[in-house]
Structure 1
Amino acid sequence: MRLHEDTRRMKIRPDALASRLRGKPESIYLVHGAEPLQREESLDAIRAAARAKGFDERIVLYVESGFDWNALKIQATSRSLFAQKKLIDLRLAGGSPGKEGGQTLTWYAGSPPSDVILLISCDIRLDRRATSTRWFKSLESAGAVIETFPIRTHELPGWIIARGKVKGGAIERGAAEVLAERNEGNLLACAQEIDKLLLLGKGASHEAQANESGDDGAIKHQGSPDGRSVDPEALIVITLDDVMSSVVDSARFGAFDLLDSALEGKGERTMRILRTLRDEGSEPIQILASLTWGIRGVCAVAKRVEGGAGIDEAARSEPGWWAKKRLLDLALRRIPRRGWIRLLGVAEGVDRIMKGSPSRSGAIVRWSRADAWCGLERLVLAMCNVKLRHRQPYS
């Protein structure tokens, strides 16, 4: 019995939700996270599973300023005139129910009705402070928590291949890598591109089948030596050429994506992110601020490492750096501490260019936006330890 309770309290990953929904439904589902595609698809899957199990009536409650939490109590305890079972879809804006809401949710989780499913959704990721509250732990004990995370860069090709397979397609590895590159940070656009490619591939497949079918309408399988007939809805293969000819670049990046890539030492990807930020109209001074923060953090961690601390201990001691421990390790293996200290001087020079401040010699630096981006380019390439043989204009 103890094992069963612990299993019920485990957090469910979005990719494992479908298998869990085939079993007995939970009394409570809490879905939160900052990744909108996975969050909305998880909510849709729970609603569909609830309908399939007879929870035909759906009540939507929006928790906004002035929300009356008695509405939840009334819906939980009242009988429906139209259906024996119902689903209460509670939209929790901002991620915090407040004092009264927390008490109501704790009360509900104490004895959830057997003919009601409570589906709670938050459009943000609940932080450690929220997940430590009594109301959250009560909901987690009584039901299931689904937390969505942005797909990491190195995980995205695998996610694309898996999604293509679920949708009835076979996406080649090279095609998946290009899709990942062009849609990094924009999972919704990536999913739409997969759907589009499969739709185009299906249309081409049907056209080819119409040309190859005999009088009996059977389709000959090209890869089968005995010419066996195959299902027209067989897997659609998406190649690199298919992706290159139809997919636009929909990647979305932020200044800290640029920092992470530079710390990792990926020069080509770092330049692509920087140019994307420029094309989107990002402010150079904000990008420089995040890079400077990163360089200072590396210097601080490097100092502790030189003092005898391990990378784990050093990263934990600097606020905000524990999650970037792997990047720190790569950065310090590539460039020693004295090199990162020199990079602070480079960052200072770029800052003087942007602000039109006097240089160390006292001369006033004249600058343009092109100069600013050129300075940022040289800074991030230096962080990646990429050597420039001669000056090239930023383009």
Structure 2
Amino acid sequence: MRVYPDQLSRQLKPLQQCYLVFGDDPWLCETSRELIFAQAKREGFEEKIQLTQEAGFSWNDLVDQWQAMSLFASRRIIELILPQAKPGSEGGAIFQSLMQMPNPDVLLIISGPKLAAEQTKSKWFKTLDAQGVYVPCATPEGNQFQRWLDERINHFKLTLTRDAKEMLFGLYEGNLLAADQSLQLLQLLSPNERVDSNQLSAYFEDQSRFSVFQLTDAMLNNQQDKALHILSQLKAEGVAMPIILWGVFKELATLLQLRTALDNNESLQSLWGKLRIWDKRKSLYQAALNRLSLTHIETLLAGASAIELKLKQQGIEDWTGMSHLSLLFDPKAHAQLAHIQLNEER
């Protein structure tokens, strides 16, 4: 059964045996999985097992997990990631076998890239689709994107005029993740105001000169001079420190998860979609991970927390500390400067 992402929340009761979440839109894929996970948790699926079809993968692992008794919970979720959306003849046979022995204590979620039309006609797909739900996560366009945008504006409780909505439509059609991030920032800047196109234009004009996203990208890419320049512009234009900290914490939390996975010899394939990292940004994180160890990232998080604590407890926006923090994204600077405490009085 085909169910589109915007209809999924209304189609989760009761849960089906399996869900097929395929598509190239990171925001839709992750949001759809989160909805399924949330409903599964409400129905007692407490344990989650993740498998990825990569080098060394054995389809017998899927069978074993399907049949195994859980040590921690009576019901479990098996998330199977197919990076190429090609289970092959062996995988197809396993799917057919599993669907012939239903297990009410197991929920199977299979995810991967966008499926071509011929793939949805394949035997393996039809076998799963007959027992479950297919959620195609294609980026909405035109009127569909407008409906999505209206829903997200309502979600963030924003009030925008018609011309402001048209401006957002023109800026972000085709990029749901960037649109969602901008609405989050707009919620911080104008939570209780009616925003028209003139205000929005001024806001984005500022963002063309400086951007929290540009700042964190420069940090990730170890462009120290650029990061310090953007930071000075942010300060000159009166951008609130909480907005900058929001962006920095977001990227550091992402780096921490990626670094931890690498140190545990885990594949990053499954994390790209989960963390909403699209292809164009993967190189930024790879560059940062090539430079920064787990200790480096933990030091950066501690520094950001010290800046946040000073802001909340003393009302001080520590721009010097933030400049210091941006330098620590370089391991060489980290070796020379990391011992300096960011919570000292300035």
The residue number in structure 2 matching 1:125 is 114
Distance 1:100 1:108, change over 3 A: same
Structure showing greater radius of gyration is 1
1:141 to 108, 130, 139: 130
The AA in structure 2 aligned to 1:116 is: V
2:4 to 10, 13, 34: 13
Deviates more, 1:25-34 or 1:172-181: 172-181
2:40 to 44, 50, 63: 50
Given that 1:165 and 1:171 are in contact with CA atoms closer than 8 Å, whether structure 2 keeps it comes out as no
Cα deviation, residue 51, structure 1 = 1.2
The residue number in structure 2 matching 1:86 is 76
Q: Provide the aligned C-alpha RMSD in A.
A: 1.8
SS in structure 2 opposite 1:56?
strand
Moved beyond 4 Å, runs of 4+: none
**Aligned residue pairs, count:** 207
In the aligned structure 1, how far is the partner of 2:154 from the partner of 2:80? Answer: 32
Unaligned runs of 5+ in 1: 1-8, 206-235, 251-395
Cα deviation, residue 84, structure 1 = 0.6
The residue number in structure 2 matching 1:167 is 156
In the aligned structure 2, how far is the partner of 1:36 from the partner of 1:186? Answer: 10
In the aligned structure 1, how far is the partner of 2:99 from the partner of 2:157? Answer: 39
Deviates more, 1:160-169 or 1:59-68: 160-169
In the aligned structure 2, how far is the partner of 1:241 from the partner of 1:50? Answer: 44
Question: Which one scores higher on RCO, CA 8 angstroms, separation ≥ 6?
Answer: 2
Given that 1:76 and 1:116 are in contact with CA atoms closer than 8 Å, whether structure 2 keeps it comes out as yes
Given that 1:30 and 1:120 are in contact with CA atoms closer than 8 Å, whether structure 2 keeps it comes out as yes
In the aligned structure 1, how far is the partner of 2:52 from the partner of 2:194? Answer: 43
Cα deviation, residue 32, structure 1 = 0.5
The AA in structure 2 aligned to 1:44 is: E
Cα deviation, residue 115, structure 1 = 0.4
Deviations 1:122-180 (A, max 9, x none): 1x211122111111001101010000112213443332112111232333321111112
In the aligned structure 1, how far is the partner of 2:105 from the partner of 2:94? Answer: 18
Cα deviation, residue 45, structure 1 = 1.2
The AA in structure 2 aligned to 1:143 is: G
In the aligned structure 1, how far is the partner of 2:148 from the partner of 2:194? Answer: 16
Distance 1:101 1:246, change over 3 A: same
Distance 1:237 1:77, change over 3 A: farther
The residue number in structure 2 matching 1:109 is 99
The residue number in structure 2 matching 1:201 is 190
2:198 to 241, 244, 248: 241
Unaligned runs of 5+ in 2: 212-346
The residue number in structure 1 matching 2:29 is 39
In the aligned structure 1, how far is the partner of 2:156 from the partner of 2:103? Answer: 36
Deviations 1:245-284 (A, max 9, x none): 223579xxxxxxxxxxxxxxxxxxxxxxxxxxxxxxxxxx
In the aligned structure 2, how far is the partner of 1:159 from the partner of 1:98? Answer: 35
User: Quick check: 1:75 aligned with 2:69?
Assistant: no
TM-score (norm 1): 0.50
User: Quick check: 1:187 aligned with 2:176?
Assistant: yes
SS in structure 1 opposite 2:127?
helix
SS in structure 1 opposite 2:72?
coil
TM-score (norm 2): 0.57
Distance 1:145 1:241, change over 3 A: same
> Sequence identity of aligned pairs in percent?
33
List aligned pairs for 1:346-357, cutoff 5 A.
none
